[in-house]
Amino acid sequence: EANDARVLQQRQVMEFEEIALVDGVEHTYISIKFPLFDAAGDLFALCGISTDITVRKQRENLLYDVAVKLCSIPDESLFEDVVRYLGPRLGVDFVMIGRLRDGAPAQVISVAACENGQLITDLNYDLLGTPCAYVVGREFYCVPRGLQQLFPGDNMLSSAGYESYAGYPLYDSADRPLGLLAVTHRAPLNDIPFVESILKIFSLRVAAALEGWRRLCPELGLYS
């Protein structure tokens, strides 16, 4: 009502962000409101056009939360904090930071992993035949659904019942592959561009920390 009164008083088009309950759920709208005049130039009504931007606002708030979180995580607990944080924010069951160990065969060694809030240790696997093989040293890769059908030889996926996957590669400052940041879920993944953007944001700091870790601990054998 206050916004309507402003439009009628100033007799011009105005834009507002407004909140309203729809079926008991709070929604956010962008509303364009403007006065209507008759042939004599007298104001006789007000018109409004509103667009629901609830999802966009949720994404904006989450991105802000991500930025704050990324700046506040201490280096000493970075890996564990990231995998714990991303699961509920992306609505996925499993999050992992894995480092590459070259050799025959190439392997992924878990740096930190979390499934539904519980940290998992000693998770190592051969890279070949897994969706991670399409990520490490390559680019973002996603399987929104049907993961087990695409990778029938990956016993970890089938035993855990994962249905979807997304992974983002980690590179060092010389553009050499370090590993990956990956998520899996027991249901289809939605809003893939958003998932990619969040993984990309976190991958930058994770990769920098992993490269620093490699320098301090060359015995990790990331490239041997």
Digit-coded pLDDT (tens) for 21-78: 888 889 999 999 999 999 999 999 999 999 999 888 887 887 777 777 777 777 788 9
Say what the pLDDT of residue 217 is: 58
Helical H segments across the chain, by residue range: 2-10, 54-72, 78-90, 147-150, 155-160, 192-216
Q: Can you say whether residue 148 is alpha, beta or left, with left for phi > 0 and alpha for psi between -120 and 50 degrees? A: alpha
Under 8 Å between Cβ of 58 and 25: no
* Alpha-carbon distances, residue 212 vs 21, 152, 159, 162, 217 (angstroms): 49, 36, 34, 32, 9
Angle at 158 between CA 154 and CA 161, to 5 degrees: 140
Q: What is the DSSP letter of 162?
A: -
Q: Residue 221 has what pLDDT? A: 47
| Residue 103 burial (C-beta neighbours within 10 Å; 0-12, 13-18, 19+) | exposed
Give the model confidence (pLDDT) of 9-25 as tens digits: 999 999 999 999 888 88
- Which among 167, 178, 176 is positioned nearest to 135, based on CA atoms? 167
Can you tell me which residue has the tokens 């979180």? 69
pTM of the predicted model over 0.75: no
The arithmetic mean of pLDDT across residues 207-217, rounded, is 77
- pLDDT average, residue stretch 81-91: 92
Percent of the chain with pLDDT over 70: 95
CA 144 to chain centroid, in Å, comes to 14
- 169 exposure class (CB count in 10 Å sphere: 0-12, 13-18, 19+): buried
d(CA 36, CA 138): 57
